[in-house]
Amino acid sequence: MDKRITDFMTRLRQTSDFDQALTVATQGLENLGASTVVWWFGDPDNNNIWSTCPPSWFPYYFDQGYWLYDPLVRHCQSGVRPLVYGTEPAFTGQLHPRARQAFHETTEFGMHSGIQVPVRLGSGVASGGVNVGSHYSAPDLVRKFGEERLPVTHIMALLAHDHLAGLLGGTRVETEATLSPRQKEVLLWLAKGLNIEQIAERLGLTRITADIHIAKAREKLNAATREQALAIALRRGLITP
């Protein structure tokens, strides 16, 4: 597993209160290149939001009703994969005027692009999201993060959100889960960066069988994606990289 993830996980595990964990989590994403970080838990209008944006931004954002038109909010309500976005016309041109205005105003405090990570339960219910904002343009962000840093950012965001939600309380129901040896093995190879085809080949399985093991692990951990299943299994100590 990428050393940045294991080091980050170790620092998170050493935190026992929300504020301390929030600082560690935010700094971890900033070390990857984030210029702003936004965490929210539950529905976007419940004000369970913490961010490094200017303190006046979110009260203003909600007062203006921007969240009703924000495509990043909709993505967290319906998507499962990270969304790379920008404030350039190529991204905002087809948006509602209120959404375009919101994106324009975020550039005033240096937020020109970002990665929106939705967090969902295995049942499909949205449980929040993480926004990793950047002062780069969207094309530059893609070049800077690329194939190597984006998966690390995704896993770290999910790890931290899951840890913070537990400290915040009331935003998740955690059930007992026992993973089979094969389910643990598949997740461990996923943690090492292998894709499902490579995992199947490494373990002498068909792709369908490897997919079934991932799906069973997701079901047991109430995770919407394989990356979220990995993050939950790591946080709970069900697997050790």
Least-confidence region, from 6-15, 42-51, 135-144, 215-224: 42-51
pLDDT tier for residue 174 given thresholds of 50, 70 and 90: low
Taking residues 114-123, report their average pLDDT. Answer: 83
pLDDT tens-digit profile of 209-223? Answer: 999 999 999 999 888
pLDDT tens-digit profile of 18-29? Answer: 999 999 999 999
Query: CA 37, 14, 127, 141 torsion: positive or negative?
Result: positive
Question: Average per-residue pLDDT in the chain?
Answer: 89
Residue scoring higher pLDDT (88 or 147):
88
pLDDT at 47: 65
pLDDT at 171: 45
The tokens for 53 are: 């944006």
Q: Which helix or strand (DSSP H or E) is residue 75 part of?
A: helix 71-78
Q: Which helix or strand (DSSP H or E) is residue 86 part of?
A: strand 83-86
Axis-axis angle for helices 3-13, 18-31 (nearest 10): 160
The CA-to-CA distance between both ends of the chain, in Å, stands at: 6
Least-confidence region, from 5-19, 90-104, 137-151, 192-206: 137-151
Axis-axis angle for helices 181-191, 226-236 (nearest 10): 110
pLDDT at 136: 93
pLDDT at 168: 83
pLDDT tens-digit profile of 55-82? Answer: 999 999 999 999 999 999 999 888 888 9
Residue scoring higher pLDDT (188 or 172):
188
